[in-house]
Amino acid sequence: MRGFVRKRGSTYTWYFDVPDPVTGRRRQYSKGGFRTKKECQQALNEALSTLRTGTFVEPSQRTVAGFLVGEWLPAMRPPRVRPSTWLSYRKNVERHIVPALGQLPLQRLTPAQLTAFYRGLLQDGHRRGRGGLAPKTVRNIHGALHAALRDAVRWGYVARNVAAAADLPKGMAPEMQVWSPEQLRVFLDHVRDDRLYAAWLLLATTGMRRGEVAGLRWVDVDLDAGRVSPRRPRVVVNHEVLVSEPKTAKGRRSIALDPATVAALRDHRRWQLEERLAVGPRWEDSGLVFTWPDGRPLHPERFSRWFEQHARAAGLPRSGCMTSGTAMPPPPWRRGSRPRSSVSGSGTPTSPSPWTPIVTCCPAWTSRRLARWPS
């Protein structure tokens, strides 16, 4: 099969005819806009080669914006992907990708254009003109583009995923700030009397995500076997808390607990039962491990806020453990050791510190609740 090249105005266009497999009629394909005849002939040869190998993509004037906004985002709506994932895709497409690349023909997008796009985002990509975007944000934008172009290849719109060939600028690799074992020891000593001490231990010893800890139910915990199986993460999507499925296949897992964490969870369970008795009929039976003293679920962002408050109070740098995963080193105690109880032998609180997060957010209500702490 052969095609031909023709000059049209100041540019060149290639043409070739292919029999339609359904009707048998010949169908002509063409693509123009090439500045030189040599460039056009080379593109024709490549098109004929893809036709012979069965990877030919029909020329189209579809733009990046038309594909992303008009076709890809609607196709990705939940339940195809998680609500939080779709919201992230839409935000990155509408705020960053379409304004910069939306007018370009999808089939003419190149790795060099994406490389320059990422570099520009790092330098001055903030919408309010306050400098560049964080490397993690740029990586998320790249992830959305990569996923979209992968689907464009699968749908027959483009021949290859140019995002896979783009060069990510230096500094794009996520830099997770991880505490040293000594820093973790300082943090755990600081929160040892905190009401959510068991939650901080879970984050430190299991690698569970914030949403998994916020959504952990007692039915997911087997203290006798020393295992937890987080099944219903509570995530924030567009300022709304949703009960979700585990983020990945690996998220559907059973996690072994060390003896110190098991002991902390047993203490936490006992305190929660005491709170339930003190609150009485007003108790809200959410079934969650970590709740307000009246049983109401804790907002996932509360964990992040309180974690940052504790880290600052302990004189520690910020850590990424309240984002995607837990950026904490192994716990600083030896296997088989147990943490010091935060309640004295008499059963009374050793100090108001177990209620620090609640005091911060609701002091009046908390002071009344502390007055009813069982003796």
User: What six digits make up the tokens of 230?
Assistant: 């987080």
What is the pLDDT, as a whole number, of residue 126? Answer: 78
The pLDDT value given to residue 135: 87
Number of other CB atoms surrounding residue 261 within 10 Å: 24
Question: Rounded CA gap, 232 and 242, in Å?
Answer: 10
pTM of the full structure? 0.58
Q: Are the C-beta atoms of 97 and 135 separated by less than 8 Å?
A: no
Q: What is the DSSP letter of 167?
A: P
Distance set, CA 84 to CA 78, 81, 165, 320, 321 (Å): 9, 8, 27, 19, 19
Residue closest to 213 by CA, chosen among 320, 288, 274: 288
Class of domain 181-371: mainly alpha
**What is the maximum span of the chain, computed from C-alpha positions, in angstroms?**
94
Residues in the chain, pLDDT under 70 = 1, 20-22, 129, 170-176, 238, 246-251, 320-375
For the 64-165 domain, the top CATH level (class) is: mainly alpha
Res 136: pLDDT: 85
pLDDT, position 178: 79
Write down the residue that tokens 């594909």 correspond to: 67
How confident is the model at residue 340, as a pLDDT? 38
CA distance 132 to 8: 43
**Backbone phi, psi, residue 329, to 5°:** -75, 175
Of 288, 270, 298, 303, the residue nearest 203 (C-alpha): 303
User: Measuring CA to CA, which residue among 284, 283, 302, 301 is closest to residue 356?
Assistant: 302
Cα separation of 169 and 115, whole Å? 7
pLDDT given at position 223: 95
Q: What is the dihedral of CA 148, 149, 154, 157, to 10 degrees?
A: 110
pLDDT at residue 53 in the model:
78
What residue segments make up the domains of the chain, in order of their start?
4-53, 64-165, 181-371
Residues 6+ apart with CB under 8 A from 100: 117, 120
Nearest Cα residue to 68 out of 184, 196, 178, 157 = 157
Q: List phi, psi (to 5°) of 29.
A: -115, 145
The CB-based long-range contact list for 244-249 (8 Å cut-off, 24+ gap) reads 244/82, 244/83, 244/84, 244/211, 244/215, 245/82, 246/212, 247/82, 247/209, 247/211
Residue 32 backbone dihedrals phi, psi, to 5 degrees: -120, -170
Phi/psi zone of residue 295: left (φ > 0), alpha (ψ -120 to 50 degrees), beta? left
